[in-house]
């Protein structure tokens, strides 16, 4: 079977380090942390009092008041990112067959703010009986951003969201890639959105001891591959990528950022929240992605790693990378942009794929910030190039992005210069 080729023709972003693609990429290249004290709720009674919030976001600047009230924050962010990517790709003009344009937009958690508010209201007003906002369910569910984007533009192709915790948007991107190369769509708007910086979100992750509690220094708290790492920093935001069949893009004269050439998926089948200590699922997913792309390991130039700054996760990912790439591992650039964006959960894969695409375009690898030479972990091989603290120029021909989610969900996507 002759599979079609898939390229990226549009980008959109609203993240803790920038409210569009240009701002986000500029911050990543310059090593800017998006962390700071939480402003979205009162953290007095919480162990963790900081996160990577989207800055200066007022939905009224993007939606009318009536429409904004129907959307959870995660869906608002998704639509903002999608609009930027759709405009960038130019796919609203005449001549686009909207029955061949799909939307696969993912979230690991969905409308957590809406859920918390609605349940809180219910228990505070029990005497009123079971009264709920009619928009409660459609605001909360994790697929609704995909539906909202399709309604906004009239896109009638495949439409859904994937849910695989922190791997959600990478699994969504792989689904988009597969549908286009199989000829089932010409264009798919794919990405991820998350807005879980809420009392329920922070409290829940705190109860698992998953979050950093470095409240005295939020901007340096996310420190992947450092010995003193103490958990991830929660992030929020959305990133949107327009995937398109190559000939379709060329015919309409679209600009092309990169080509998507492979995707891999696997399961740890090990633990609800912890990655396998030897990285077995991570090894398998990278091997699967390389096989799908018909590449040998030495073809990869840059890996944007999962790199969450957790005690167990970081060394297990390093072990997996060393196993897959052998001696070539020492020629790779590796970086964790979560050191700047925090962990955007279901949107993590999308923002990290964006980083890979822009690394290819600009010939530069963003850094892993917050590492000090005296903070080395004996479990980690520092002969690898983690691109610590400062971006490095490199002609990136092919880049790989890793995402691993609670439940043992692993997903990996590979993009190439075209």
Give the range among 47-56, 87-96, 252-261, 374-383 with minimum mean pLDDT.
87-96
Grade residue 275 by pLDDT with cuts at 50, 70 and 90: confident
Give the mean pLDDT of the chain: 96
Give the residues across from 267 on adjacent strands.
409
- Under 8 Å CB-to-CB from 341, ≥6 apart: which residues? 15, 16, 17, 28, 34, 52, 235, 237, 351
The residue-averaged pLDDT of 15-24 equals: 98
The single residue of 52, 248, 276, 306 carrying the catalytic annotation is: 306
Residue carrying structure tokens 């009638």: 156
Percent of the chain with pLDDT strictly greater than 70: 99
Residue 204's pLDDT band (cuts 50, 70, 90): very high
Q: State the Cα angle at 52 between 51 and 58, rounded to 5°.
A: 110
Q: Which residue has the tokens 């971006």?
A: 391
For residue 272, what pLDDT is reported?
85
The pLDDT, as a whole number, for residue 286 is: 98
- Asked if 226 contacts 135 with a C-beta cutoff of 8 angstroms, the reply is no
- Is 195 strand, coil or helix? coil
* pLDDT > 90 in the chain, percent: 91
pLDDT-derived band at 297 (thresholds 50, 70, 90) equals very high
pLDDT for res 335: 98
Q: Is the pLDDT of residue 273 over 90?
A: no
Of 52-66, 114-128, 251-265, 380-394, which range is least confident? 114-128
pLDDT value for 117: 86
Whether residue 123 has pLDDT greater than 70: no
Residues with Cβ within 8 Å of 169's Cβ and at least 6 positions away in sequence, in order, are: 106, 162, 190, 191, 192, 239, 346, 347, 348, 349, 350, 353, 403
Alpha-carbon dihedral sign for residues 80, 82, 86, 88:
positive
The pTM for the full model equals: 0.96
- Per annotation, catalytic residue among 166, 248, 356, 409: 166
Residue 152 has pLDDT above 90, yes or no: yes
343 is catalytic: yes
Per-residue confidence band for 12, with pLDDT thresholds at 50, 70 and 90: very high
Give the pLDDT score at 404: 97
Q: What is the pLDDT of residue 8?
A: 99
User: Does the pLDDT at position 127 exceed 80?
Assistant: no
pLDDT digits (tens, 9 = 90+) for 44-89: 999 999 999 999 999 999 999 999 999 999 999 999 999 999 999 9
Burial string for 326-362 (b: 16+ CB within 10 Å, else e) reads eeebeebbbbbbbbbbbbbbbbbbbbbbbbbbbbbee
Name the residue among 377, 375, 354 with its Cα closest to residue 366: 354
DSSP, collapsed to helix, strand or coil, labels residue 4 as: coil
By the 8 A CB rule, do 313 and 271 touch? no
pLDDT in tens, 224-238: 999 999 999 999 999
Q: Which of 52, 248, 276, 343 is catalytic?
A: 343
Domains of the chain, each with CATH number or no CATH? 7-416 (3.40.47.10)
d(CA 222, CA 66) in angstroms, rounded, equals: 37
Whether the Cβ atoms of residue 162 and residue 153 lie closer than 8 Å to each other? no
What is the spatial distance between Cα 178 and Cα 38, in angstroms, rounded to a whole number?
39
The pLDDT score that the predictor gives to residue 122 is: 65
Enumerate the β-bridge partners of residue 415. 260, 399
Neighbour-count burial of 30, counting CB atoms closer than 10 A to its CB (0-12 exposed, 13-18 middle, 19+ buried): middle
């Amino acid at each position: 079977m002759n599979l079609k080729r898939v390229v990226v023709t549009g980008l959109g972003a609203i993240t803790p380090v920038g409210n569009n693609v240009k701002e986000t990429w500029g911050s990543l290249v310059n090593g800017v942390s998006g962390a700071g004290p939480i402003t979205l709720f009162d953290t007095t009674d919480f162990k963790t009092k900081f996160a990577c919030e989207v800055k200066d976001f007022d939905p009224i600047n993007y939606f009318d008041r009536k429409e904004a009230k129907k959307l959870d924050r995660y869906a608002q962010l998704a639509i903002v990112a999608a609009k930027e990517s759709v405009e960038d790709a130019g796919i609203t003009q005449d001549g686009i067959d909207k029955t061949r344009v799909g939307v696969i937009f993912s979230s690991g958690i969905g409308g957590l703010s809406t859920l918390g508010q609605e349940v809180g209201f219910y228990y505070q007003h029990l005497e009123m009986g079971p009264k709920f906002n009619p928009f409660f369910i459609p605001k909360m569910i994790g697929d609704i951003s995909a539906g909202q984007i399709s309604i906004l533009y009239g896109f009638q192709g495949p439409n859904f969201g994937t849910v695989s915790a922190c791997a959600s948007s990478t699994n969504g991107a792989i689904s988009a890639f597969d549908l286009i190369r199989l000829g089932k769509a010409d264009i798919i708007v794919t990405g991820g959105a998350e807005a879980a910086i809420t009392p329920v979100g922070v409290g829940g992750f705190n109860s698992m001891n998953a979050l950093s509690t470095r409240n005295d220094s939020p901007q340096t708290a996310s420190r992947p591959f450092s010995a003193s790492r103490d958990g991830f920093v929660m992030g929020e935001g959305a990133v949107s990528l327009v995937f398109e069949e190559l000939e379709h893009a060329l015919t309409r004269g679209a600009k092309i950022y990169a080509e998507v050439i492979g995707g891999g998926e696997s399961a740890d089948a090990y633990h609800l929240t912890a990655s396998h200590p030897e990285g077995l699922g991570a090894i398998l997913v990278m091997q699967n992605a390389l096989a799908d792309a018909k590449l040998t390991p030495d073809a990869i130039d840059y890996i944007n790693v999962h790199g969450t700054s957790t005690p167990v996760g970081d060394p297990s990912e390093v072990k997996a990378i060393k196993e897959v790439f052998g001696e070539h591992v020492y020629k790779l650039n590796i970086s964790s942009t979560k050191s700047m964006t925090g962990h955007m959960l279901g949107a993590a894969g999308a923002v990290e794929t964006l980083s890979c695409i822009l690394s290819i375009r600009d010939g530069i690898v963003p850094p892993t910030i917050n590492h000090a030479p005296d903070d080395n972990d004996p479990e980690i091989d520092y002969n690898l190039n983690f691109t610590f603290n400062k971006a490095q120029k490199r002609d990136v021909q092919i880049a790989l992005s890793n995402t691993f989610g609670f439940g043992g969900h692993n997903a990996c996507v590979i993009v190439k210069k075209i």
